[in-house]
Structure 1
């Protein structure tokens, strides 16, 4: 930059078209200067030149560093977000605002960045659990990092989240989707619990000689284990090759009378199909109106989920156990192995109890 450029700058300053302080790069010396031009008297002016090369190098280095951090932030494999805690007039945390999120976070939500930034959690996800708000607020208030594993009902996912406080009133977190791991752990725990429960029910059932009490015990224990409210057991009569009423739980008198009066033929409806095929049946919802239902009295029961399993003694079907729910209760396909195992455990106990009753029936 030469004198002509400084004079030109001075003219621009006088005309109000430029600031009195400008930065120039000197290519020959590869240096930067800050040039300040001040009018003095008449048409004279004073020029002050400061070497700002070190500052410019530092600024460029900072920009490059910020660029690398931004690139890392945008392309990191885990979801990252910074939240501003929102409190009510009493200082209680009631929500949080998304002030910074990376692309992975937006992708996990299936949303664009612009649709997230500036919005609050309850605006975007009205069913957000209070736990998220409370933990974020605690980290923002105490400044102490925390790690949590929580379920998001809105997203139907489990997240392991590492939280820290970047500045007062804010909480930042790295969110890792651990749904598969948590579900696997839950299945393992459930499987262990089911094995214990199956063994317990089988042992106790084998000690009960009275058939009626045995059938009710099996129904009560099984429905309780799977959080159901309705159950029924039909027993196979080898002579007529039909299924007769054995026991019930949570059903209307009309329903019970209908099935006590008329046995179920092999292959009839859901129960008859289970007995004939020796295969369980699962209906997730509205089982009262399943097209395979053979008798209209079932429609009036308002039943929801259905799991029906054969009761085995060896390879022979000695009966069928049906476990059901009423809305909003719902069984899952994961409940089937447990119910099937109870059917296997109960078979020999039922055979033994029926043998005990034979002399009484003959008297």
Structure 2
């Protein structure tokens, strides 16, 4: 009765094993009203059903919730972790515990607001660091790019898995182990409307969430802003060099 009235989402499940005793699915046995409100799934429509019936493709999620849930259901104990549900567009802190063999309970705490604030802070720090860099290295484009590469991965959701690369004309600047992957985002670097390079961020491994777009709109805006600033600086430095050359010629 207490669980029914919890202000956070609660669900109780039974794990489903294959012939090798490996977790392959789970069945909904009970959920509270907060779970219904959070997911939009009605209790009467899901009780007794497998998660793969309710959410097709769940078993192919890049972060295997079945492993985490199965471990608790079979061995007992507890687990706590954060997960992003693309279908809901929300971040959750998940607490899993098991008291009965092959069964487990899950409590979901919505931490979306907290995570979004953290992301905004990362993005603002990125632009702030870049502005400091511009003041320090006004006329050294190479130094600006080298330093930008260093802090750029920290602006993204999974910095430990991110790498950055800036290609400019015949030069390429990149973080260690950086290589092209299927999971990347990029913007062109231009001079007088002609592309002269590119700024790119890649995830070296598939991020621990599954969705159509691996990058937040805010992350795209930050990368686009950096590309625009580098374009402007590149053009400004070139004009200064041209001015000095012309000035030297006529003096």
Q: Give me the TM-score of the superposition, normalised by structure 1.
A: 0.46
The residue that corresponds to 2:188 in the other structure is 231
Q: Which stretches in structure 1 are left out of the alignment for 5+ residues?
A: 1-69, 210-214, 236-244, 251-326
**Is 2:7 the partner of 1:74?**
no
The residue that corresponds to 1:50 in the other structure is none
**Is 2:221 the partner of 1:336?**
yes
Query: Is the 1:80–1:101 contact (alpha carbons within 8 Å) kept by the matching residues of 2?
Result: yes
The residue that corresponds to 1:175 in the other structure is 108
- Give the C-alpha shift of residue 91 in structure 1: 0.9
Instruction: State the structure with more CA Rg.
Output: 1
- Give the C-alpha shift of residue 95 in structure 1: 1.2
SS of 2:48's equivalent?
Answer: coil
RMSD of Structure 2 on Structure 1 (CA)? 3.9
C-alpha spacing 1:355/1:189, structure 2 compared with 1 (3 Å)? closer
- Give the C-alpha shift of residue 114 in structure 1: 1.2
SS of 1:206's equivalent?
Answer: coil
Query: Is the 1:232–1:247 contact (alpha carbons within 8 Å) kept by the matching residues of 2?
Result: yes
The residue that corresponds to 1:105 in the other structure is 35
- Alpha-carbon distance in structure 1 between the residues aligned to 2:56 and 2:227: 41
Query: Is the 1:198–1:342 contact (alpha carbons within 8 Å) kept by the matching residues of 2?
Result: no
Q: Which stretches in structure 2 are left out of the alignment for 5+ residues?
A: 143-166, 179-183, 199-211
Query: Is the 1:198–1:338 contact (alpha carbons within 8 Å) kept by the matching residues of 2?
Result: no
C-alpha spacing 1:173/1:357, structure 2 compared with 1 (3 Å)? same
C-alpha spacing 1:190/1:139, structure 2 compared with 1 (3 Å)? farther
- Give the C-alpha shift of residue 356 in structure 1: 1.6
Query: Is the 1:228–1:331 contact (alpha carbons within 8 Å) kept by the matching residues of 2?
Result: no
- Alpha-carbon distance in structure 2 between the residues aligned to 1:149 and 1:142: 21
The residue that corresponds to 2:22 in the other structure is 92
- Alpha-carbon distance in structure 2 between the residues aligned to 1:75 and 1:149: 23
Spell out, residue by residue over 1:217-241, the C-alpha distance to the aligned partner (whole angstroms, 9 max, x if none). Answer: 7x977xx9xx544514244xxxxxx
C-alpha spacing 1:78/1:329, structure 2 compared with 1 (3 Å)? closer
Query: Is the 2:92–2:109 contact (alpha carbons within 8 Å) kept by the matching residues of 1?
Result: yes
SS of 2:87's equivalent?
Answer: coil
C-alpha spacing 1:220/1:184, structure 2 compared with 1 (3 Å)? farther
SS of 2:91's equivalent?
Answer: strand
- Alpha-carbon distance in structure 2 between the residues aligned to 1:202 and 1:167: 62
Spell out, residue by residue over 1:177-198, the C-alpha distance to the aligned partner (whole angstroms, 9 max, x if none). Answer: 1112112222223432443356
Q: Give me the TM-score of the superposition, normalised by structure 2.
A: 0.64
Q: Equivalent of 2:55, from 125, 139, 158?
A: 125
